[in-house]
Structure 1
């Protein structure tokens, strides 16, 4: 989701900049010699820029990223049921070692994926949460109340179903069916295109974000090891350092990432699940720019005469030191416009969606069914609890709480959204691949049989929810007709690292 939103914002921001350039202020005529893109770049450079735009559109497509992850999971299941299973597991058990002098830190490749790389995924999730709490749906509690409480219903009922089915047994896996996979669920919903009411997409996105918050809280509170207080204290000090950087308006990304690595190590050693370092880091990275965006256009315009005066059309660019120095000063300021939070999201979204999540799926979806009694597996309480929790608990939890809120007069359904849409969203909420597998691995690390049952049920439940939900939503949206999505518009802000002289005024506050 974060990736898709970023692409939309980029297009909106580009359009806003283009409009500001093309629309002249009163009393100022447009120059007939004003250069267009064809005069700024050669045909080869324009072609490369277009290819880059195409690549960004592909990597920003939620459907494509979800399909890549599905293919990785399918490949994992196929490999797990062939002779590749054993060499793969030997490879997963190989240590990844970092050594500095006499100090050495080592963890298996599987732990490296599940604890370190997934911390980067949680960093992206945290960025999305902070975005929504700053300028998105979660900024207005009243508007977000209905989907957020619906998410609570979609968490409590699946967990309750699992506990009832497994009472007296493997109750520790109660949190497995409660998570909704944002990437998969929104990817499936996007297959219906413009037939889905825009308000429904907003409702589902807010619900999925609230669901993520609850899943993160469950991991933090219930699925860590016995905490080591010394390392927890060290993690608290590092967190205080991150907050200090934010409060002192440090807008460079590098100091935050450095302390983020230290925070991850402290949490890993403390017994608390280290992926939470990603969320903590996201909430301390500034979401504001240190450039006054309102003064930016005027400042750039004030620099244009100086640039025009310094430029010599007859000289080689390498020899125009005054011109390139002036351009560099402008570049430094322009680099500071985008907030660190947004710059970091741009850097990690594609690697997370196309490398980290598929790798996580391949490593963790190794469900080997060779020689397994399928009937016994199908009636295993863990498998039954997870499957029913995902398919029934999510549906009736989301639909039930929404119905009670509306009937009590505490909320209203979004415009253009009916009960059939809410029911469809409830079914799609049962797609819980990523978080569910992560929690299953934490819950049943030492119990292979239960872990196999949980993973099998997660795969079956996610596929069932996707197929049934897509079919149901196609029926629910069949009379809605084509719609155009509303594109959010606003000032795009963000920062850089070096302060340029006589730059626009600095913003007060970092968030």
Structure 2
């Protein structure tokens, strides 16, 4: 068998490829991504309580103006992070949602019903606890959605630290629950935390959404047209009063999940191209003079580029950018808690803090575990093979690990800075508490190599975004957009 890298002349090229592979292993780790975001949040806490705080606030308040003519967006640096860069994060969330509904756990409603309904319980109970606390203590009920969200990156990062104590089936259950949780959080933001809608901009947003759908129906497989329309859609939604980050979700669902190449014939086509390249190659001439050979190689490269569906291509483009720039920057901008001069007694006594903390730490596990137990008890569903009740409890406890969506909702829910600070403190403390409780419980109650831990079920198919569309009378790659 030919070893990887054997076709390269230069050993330096092989070493560079190996380094890139190692870098991809690091950047593809949810644990590393979560650690980077935690580090950014901790840095923000430190900076916010040093003399650098005023300088950072000045930079975050600087104005930015982007656009042409009437399609102009005026925003601050902080809004650019929270509204534009987070739209890229929502694009990645939307890609994951579309993947799951196409070939993942959400493609089979019956199979996905248990974790999805558990997510509904994990959203409803925290909201009710928050409302009960704040209505009883005269707090701010508008923040009811702050404790409803589970942070996928943080929560799955904590789960990965537990190794084989958490079975593959439980990890799939938790991931499906977290994805359903994201869907509910997106709906909540759209319905309850937008501004007064501007009809003209809303109509423009609908028209652009229709344009994205038309591109998909026209089988346009180049990513660039979708991105161009998506940027204009974001600007329209920003001006419309609907939260602009939702443009990322709309763009994700418009991206084609099929390939424009007849995959069933790709192998034979590559064999023919390989023979053509071998015939065209002349060992006696410099590569710059072998136009037939380099032109054939370029055409093959273009076809291979379009084997990957646009949805998956976009995921590869933005994943590292989101995990290692957008989310850490968001954490740094929004986790700034200027506690110098603050009344800690008032923070600890705040109904907002009590509601957010209890909603996440107590409400999340109660909602998730109770709904799961009821559905199983009533015979509506069964626990996945390899998952037992101690693992359900661990999932419920770690469901309280929330950051990204909770911080985002905090910024939308509160006009009083004191309430926002109290909510952010509660979110950070609740996430640490939930992570600690879930980890300790799993280590005490679940034995290593628990039920099904060594039986790895199929992941709903390989990481593919749908089958190729019906064959056409052309070679692979012909007519690629």
TM-score by length of 2: 0.94
Contact 2:71 2:236 in 1 (8 A): no
Q: What residue in structure 2 maps to residue 26 of structure 1?
A: none
Deviations 1:401-457 (A, max 9, x none): 00000000000011121111111111111011010000010001x211111111111
Q: What residue in structure 1 maps to residue 470 of structure 2?
A: none
RMSD value over aligned CA atoms? 2.3
Q: How far, CA to CA, are the matches of 1:353 and 1:224 in structure 2? A: 26
Contact 1:195 1:483 in 2 (8 A): no
Shift of 1:507: 11
Q: What residue in structure 1 maps to residue 221 of structure 2?
A: 251
Moved more, 296-305 or 350-359: 296-305
Specify whether residues 139 and 323 from structure 1 end up closer, same or farther in structure 2 by C-alpha distance, changes over 3 A only: same
Aligned with residue 478 of structure 1, among 433, 442, 447:
447
Deviations 1:209-246 (A, max 9, x none): 00000000000000000101110000000000000000
Shift of 1:313: 1.6
Specify whether residues 313 and 147 from structure 1 end up closer, same or farther in structure 2 by C-alpha distance, changes over 3 A only: same
Specify whether residues 259 and 188 from structure 1 end up closer, same or farther in structure 2 by C-alpha distance, changes over 3 A only: same
Q: How far, CA to CA, are the matches of 1:35 and 1:381 in structure 2? A: 63
Q: How far, CA to CA, are the matches of 2:9 and 2:160 in structure 1? A: 36
Specify whether residues 255 and 36 from structure 1 end up closer, same or farther in structure 2 by C-alpha distance, changes over 3 A only: closer
Q: What residue in structure 2 maps to residue 306 of structure 1?
A: 276
Q: How far, CA to CA, are the matches of 1:400 and 1:456 in structure 2? A: 27
Q: How far, CA to CA, are the matches of 1:450 and 1:378 in structure 2? A: 11
Q: What residue in structure 2 maps to residue 232 of structure 1?
A: 202
Shift of 1:91: 1.3
Contact 1:285 1:340 in 2 (8 A): yes
Aligned with residue 86 of structure 1, among 54, 59, 71:
54
Q: What residue in structure 2 maps to residue 450 of structure 1?
A: 419
Specify whether residues 143 and 85 from structure 1 end up closer, same or farther in structure 2 by C-alpha distance, changes over 3 A only: same
Contact 2:73 2:235 in 1 (8 A): no
Q: What residue in structure 2 maps to residue 277 of structure 1?
A: 247
Q: What residue in structure 2 maps to residue 432 of structure 1?
A: 402
1:137 aligns with 2:137: no
Shift of 1:491: 7.8
Shift of 1:298: 1.2
Aligned with residue 462 of structure 1, among 431, 440, 451:
431
Q: How far, CA to CA, are the matches of 2:333 and 2:343 in structure 1? A: 23
Aligned with residue 379 of structure 1, among 342, 345, 349:
349
Q: Tell me, what secondary structure is at the counterpart of 1:69?
A: helix
Q: What residue in structure 2 maps to residue 160 of structure 1?
A: 128
Q: What residue in structure 2 maps to residue 332 of structure 1?
A: 302
Deviations 1:187-207 (A, max 9, x none): 011011233200000000000
Contact 2:101 2:107 in 1 (8 A): yes
Q: Tell me, what secondary structure is at the counterpart of 1:416?
A: coil
Q: What residue in structure 1 maps to residue 153 of structure 2?
A: 183
Shift of 1:505: 7.5
Shift of 1:475: 2.1
Shift of 1:506: 7.4
Deviations 1:240-273 (A, max 9, x none): 0000000000000000000001100111001010
Deviations 1:378-411 (A, max 9, x none): 1211000000000000010000000000000000
Deviations 1:124-147 (A, max 9, x none): 000000000000000011110000
Deviations 1:310-354 (A, max 9, x none): 111221111111111222221121111000110110010001000
Unaligned 5+ runs, structure 2 = 468-472
Moved more, 396-405 or 41-50: 41-50
Specify whether residues 428 and 274 from structure 1 end up closer, same or farther in structure 2 by C-alpha distance, changes over 3 A only: same
Q: How does 1:179-218 map to 2 (within 5 A)?
A: 179-218=149-188
Contact 1:437 1:455 in 2 (8 A): yes
Q: What residue in structure 2 maps to residue 503 of structure 1?
A: 475
How many residue pairs are counted as aligned between the two chains? 473
Specify whether residues 35 and 197 from structure 1 end up closer, same or farther in structure 2 by C-alpha distance, changes over 3 A only: closer
Q: What residue in structure 1 maps to residue 371 of structure 2?
A: 401
Q: What residue in structure 2 maps to residue 30 of structure 1?
A: none
Specify whether residues 279 and 101 from structure 1 end up closer, same or farther in structure 2 by C-alpha distance, changes over 3 A only: closer
Contact 1:293 1:493 in 2 (8 A): no
Contact 2:165 2:442 in 1 (8 A): no
TM-score by length of 1: 0.88
Unaligned 5+ runs, structure 1 = 1-21, 23-33, 496-500
Q: How far, CA to CA, are the matches of 1:378 and 1:442 in structure 2? A: 22
Q: How far, CA to CA, are the matches of 2:324 and 2:274 in structure 1? A: 41
4+ long deviations beyond 4 Å: 99-104, 484-489, 491-495, 505-508
Specify whether residues 39 and 334 from structure 1 end up closer, same or farther in structure 2 by C-alpha distance, changes over 3 A only: closer
Q: How far, CA to CA, are the matches of 1:435 and 1:100 in structure 2? A: 31
1:411 aligns with 2:381: yes
